[in-house]
Structure 1
Amino acid sequence: MNTAIVTGALIIGLRETFEIALLISLILAVAKKRNVATLQYILLPTLLALIAGFSLGSLAYSVISSSLDTWMAEALSYLLATIIVLWVVVWSSTSTRNIEASIRKSGSLWILGGLTFLFVVREALEIALIALPLASVEFLSAIIGLTVGGGLSTIIAYTIYRYGVRLPIGVFFRILSGTLVLLGAWMMWEAISEVVEGVSLAGELEEIVPLTAAILYAIAAILLMTRSSHPAARENPS
């Protein structure tokens, strides 16, 4: 078992599944206040979205893997994963807040179902595109990490919904986002290492270039994450 792969997959599963579980809990809470049954409007869109998101992610990964040389495919897969990680830690939280506002304002169960599908398919696609490069290294370790992370996040979200437990969710997401930045930096290191190996760079450059790319990625991600969390940045994104 690869501890690094398990840890990375656990972080992905914990953060992404927690977002899904929180939004579904929010929909159920809104429906409960309105005294309406929503299971059929939530369960089917969620299942369809998970299938669609994972299928699209797997298709994209298989196309990349089959159409390029091994080192190019691995490098591109890792680079795509670093972009998705950046999206998750910088812009995903803002779009999630917009979806939450839409759910609270929605008066139609069909609209709630549609919002559920759109949100879950996005999260499933993100999980697939980030986790598949890890699974290509060691499949079992990635599955274990995703399962444990997903299970923990579901338990936490259910506890919040069922018992009304108040947790510092903002702090929780910031910590997870910080660990995702580290994961993204490691993936950037792996991507550039594949490129360096593929083009046969030798000597000190073989170690310096990937390390420099990883450090620059982490710095850029932290700066963007800090800017996106600032109120003024959210009000005036330009």
Structure 2
Amino acid sequence: MARIVILTGAGISAESGIRTFRASDGLWEEHRIEEVATPEGFARDPVLVQRFYNARRAAAAAAQPNAAHLALAELEADGRHQVLVVTQNVDDLHERAGTQNLIHMHGTLTGALCAACGHRWPAPQEMSAKDPCPACSKPATRPDIVWFGEMPYRMEEIWPALRRADLFVSIGTSGNVYPAAGFVADAMHAGVPTLELNLEPSTGTRMFDEARHGPATQVVPAWVREMLAQG
């Protein structure tokens, strides 16, 4: 049974209608990243940040898993490989496609977090910074999202899994955001074979043993079909 670690980024959800995180003009949904995706931005204008993520939550809820999400769920469900999906995405399309062994390293729109005590709970569709925490009652509610300058979740699980994998696959990620951008180098140094599946060459394409480029809904199902055919 091969151990496969799969990293997914915004490119796998783009064909479901969810805009990629960082546009060429440095804006995300017409906002500067610093305004809506940093602790400092939240401290300056929590109303703006909550409004921004309420809109993102609604957009994610309206989206549907595409053929790439479904193919990865099929690979896991087949049972002949041990599959771990590590996603940079904050949508829940992997879950809704059926993937079960999943790590959201950047958090999720479906979660709420208390900035005061660290308590977590399911996010309502509309959140406000004034919402009281169910645990400590302080009005310090924020999205359970890893912002720039914060440590991604569950890295203590991700690094060991990556280093003992039999294959590392990167799907739909630009290779610009660390620590995920360093996964291919870490896998390479551990002697793990690597594959990139991306719309176009990423920043680190040259580091992969193999790269296939095209829309995620095409290249991911094609690769999964090959894996299932091999047994």
**TM-score normalized by the length of structure 1:** 0.28
Larger Rg: 1
**Structure number with higher relative contact order (C-alpha < 8 Å, ≥ 6 residues apart):** 1
Q: Larger % of strand: which? A: 2
**TM-score normalized by the length of structure 2:** 0.28
